[in-house]
Structure formats: C-alpha cells, structure tokens
Chains A and B, each alone.
Chain A
C-alpha cells in the first residue's frame, strides 16, 4: 500500500470528493424512498488507529444497526451503512407503517428487519454506482448483510485487510440525517474503507499518482 505518509492534501481532497459523490447519490435515494428531505454533512476523511476509529463512532460497545458489504473488483474494500437504533427504528416505521417496531422487543418483526436490509442495499448500491461512474472503476458489491450489534465488533471486518499492512485505517465517513432531526453522534453514517491496495487504482482513475 500506499504509505499513509505519502498522502498529501490533494489525495485527501479526492477521497472527500468520493465520499461526497457516493453519499450524495445515496442521500438522494434515501430521500426518494422516504419522501423526506435528507441532509448530508461534508465528508470526513480521517487517518486513524483502530482504537481511534472506534472512538470516532462513539466507542466500540455502542450498539448500532449496520449494513456491511464487501466491494470486489478494481478497488476492493469494505462499506458500512451504520444507523443508531432509534434512527433505524424511525426508518423502519416510515417504510413499513408498523409503528410498534422495536429492536428491544423479543422478536422484532421480520418485515421490519427485511425493510432495513433493503434500505441498506439500495443506499450502498447507489453510493457504489456513483463511485464507479465517477472513477470508471469496476466495483462489484457483495450481497449486503445486516446486523445489530456492538459497532466495534462490526467494524473489525472492515479493518482485516488494512490490519495486514499496518495499524491505521483511512476512513471516508459521510453522515446523513433527516432534516430537523437532532444530529446525534451517529445518525446515519457511510463508512468506506478501501483495502490497502485500492488507493493506487482509485487515485490513478482520477489522474493522480501516488508518489
């Protein structure tokens, strides 16, 4: 991989633009799906240690709903769409009309879970297709998997390839939230974690070499 120290401000800007384009497209899809205004924050590109990454998302033990998919193709990596449980419940209620839905009940309705999985599917798909259009790279997403668990345990899967090279991750983090909803620390986050060997093809596709 690209040594992290070789990344300059231009490279970081490119990664931000990737977050912008991907999450922008996904936010539009979300907005159409829910018929609501969705706001998006300026993407955050961070180079963090694994422990810092957990702090970034509110601590490893924070319980979240996350959709995870692997990206194969020209620039492999991992992608997560992470929602706080209240936000995930709100989305499920809006999509299914089931206002009783709750993760804390013993048997959360399968319809609700399935709706959330589909939401993740659509959003991750629109993020990646925008990214593929922008870079002209071939990116093949795996079938997304949904889980509700501690965020530390979930994000570890995105760190495996990176951890073979070093103890740092480059995270492209974009937050989306419903208009007029409080921006809690973790409302809806897209995390894109390119594998170590993917930085060279990503930058090259946009005409920038990694020295």
Chain B
C-alpha cells in the first residue's frame, strides 16, 4: 500500500523535522539560508529557513529562534535529536545566501546579508561538530529546496538553472 507523501513546508524564519516517506521544503530562498541537518541511518531530517546571521541584531525581547543563525542551529539540532537523530552522526547540507542585488549604497552591510548568513550558519554548525557535506550557496539567484530524508538528497530549483541535486 502506498502511503501518502506529504511535503512539509517550512516558512520564512521557521523550522521543522521530517521522516520518510515525507519530504521537507522551503521556497524562495534569497539572502536567507536553508539548513538541513540529518541523520542518514535514522532517516530523520530537520530544515530551518534562517533569515539573519545573529540574534544580537534583534531589536525586540521575544525573538523567533528560527530566524537567526546562532539560535536556529542549536534549536534545529535539538529538534532532530528529539525526533530520533543521534548527536554524533548528524550532517548538514546548505543552500541559499544569494546576493540578489548589487548595491553601492551606505547600507551595504544589510545588502551583504546573504554571505553573512552563510558564514554564520557554518560557524554554528562547526560549534556542534556537524560537517557540511554539500552546499549550494551564494550567487545571485533565488532557490527553492526540498530534502528527502530517505535518500538524503537535497534538490535545488532556480529560475535559470532548473533543478539540481546535491
């Protein structure tokens, strides 16, 4: 009997976990970074849609932990472990962090947010000793990504280059 396959959607500044046969996806990554943390043998994967590099940028008290690289990775690791992942077996795949627009204005720091997000996510993954086994970051195109926890393949769709798997 075929089980119905759900595609779990992760919104902006959001995270979730998934197990086979279901898939997990997030759409329209620009400067944001999609981080997948998974345990291949336990077949469990979590995806976070990170928007900003560091929670010190927050200007409010109640922060959405999925929004910032420094808080999101920690929470995502916890989620994946809670769903059955093993701490020492976790690996990561990343996509996103594009620079959609080239600007020469004063506010370049915010405009360079894509590369900064990528750096911050990698730094956090390193803190938890999680190796990045594949990535498709930077460039100037938006991406939609979908991860299959069974095959551990991340499929990435862009407007100009079609679909590729990493």
Q: Which residues of A contact B (CB under 8 A)?
A: 1, 49-51, 54, 59-61, 63, 68, 70, 72, 142-143, 145, 147-154, 156-157, 159-161, 163-167, 196
Contact = CB atoms under 8 A, between A and B. Distances in A.
Given A70-B105, A157-B113, A161-B110, 10 more contacts: A51-B12, A70-B103, A143-B105, A150-B30, A152-B142, A153-B98, A153-B141, A164-B52, A165-B58, A167-B64
A149 B29 CA distance: 11
Contact of A157 (B13, B30, B64): B30
A107 to B, nearest CB: 12
Nearest to A54: B28
10 contacts: A1-B59, A50-B13, A72-B107, A149-B141, A153-B141, A153-B142, A156-B51, A157-B30, A166-B60, A167-B13
A54 B12 contact: yes
Contacts of A72: 105-107
A161 B105 CA distance: 15
Chain B interface helix/strand/loop/mixed: loop
A202 to B, nearest CB: 18
B30 A154 contact: yes
Interface string B122-166: 000000000000000000111110000000000000010000000
